[in-house]
Amino acid sequence: MAYKVVIPPAAEPITLEEAKAHLRVVFDDEDAQISMMIAAARGMLEKRTNRLLMAQTIEFASKLWGFGLRVPVAPFRQLVGVTYLDTSGTTQPIDLADLAVDSFVEPAIIGLPYGGVWPEAQPSSPRTVRVEVGYADAASVPAQLKMWMLMAIAAMYENREALTAGVTVQPLPEDFMSWLWHPYMVYV
């Protein structure tokens, strides 16, 4: 399920200093490029695992109410809001007190408490859900995920000129690398 980031993370799970230490870089000439590699590695890992590493707010839409609205990523932090189009075409919020969130499962499911009823809405209109997701801070991100990022950053750094010159590069050892992130995969 697609989602959009409404409020991006304020920081990366790996600092520039941590990445430079891993790369054994002691000069500042490539700080901007290494910072981009950090963001790229985080983005690659987040797309691969459906797990957002740093605290951020996302929004997604779903036309299915049924047994609940499944958050497309993990870890879930907090429900911010749910809106829908009523039968007259007006956007209406759903009172968060009328919803139940099962955040024990991954991905979290937003539904109704026992006996609850979804409001009457236009049949084909999506329900828009806004949630806060991601780990609380960089210290909370699992070490295996950070290690994968460091290895990906190192591969990008070591092969940055070969990529621009069109030279074939040795890819990351994917079978080994997947052992780091695969236990954290979120199936949506």
Instruction: Specify the pLDDT at position 67.
Output: 74
Do 127 and 146 lie in one domain? The reply is no
What 3 state SS string does 109-153 have?
EEECCCCCCCCCCCCCCCEEEEEEECECCHHHCCHHHHHHHHHHH
Summarised one tens digit per residue, pLDDT across range 28-77 is 999 999 999 999 999 999 999 999 999 999 999 988 777 788 999 999 99
Instruction: Specify the pLDDT at position 188.
Output: 80
Summarised one tens digit per residue, pLDDT across range 144-184 is 999 999 999 998 998 877 655 555 655 566 666 777 787 88
Do 29 and 88 lie in one domain? The reply is no
Distance CA(13)–CA(11), nearest Å, equals 7
Do 103 and 146 lie in one domain? The reply is no
Do 70 and 49 lie in one domain? The reply is no
Summarised one tens digit per residue, pLDDT across range 84-121 is 998 888 999 999 999 999 999 999 999 988 888 888 88
Do 40 and 63 lie in one domain? The reply is no
Domains in the chain: how many in total? 2
Distance CA(36)–CA(40), nearest Å, equals 6
Q: Which domain holds residue 96?
A: 56-133
The DSSP code for 94 is: P
Do 49 and 113 lie in one domain? The reply is no
Sheet with 109-111: strands ordered across: 69-70, 109-111, 100-102
Do 87 and 114 lie in one domain? The reply is yes
Last residue of a domain, one of 94, 110, 133: 133
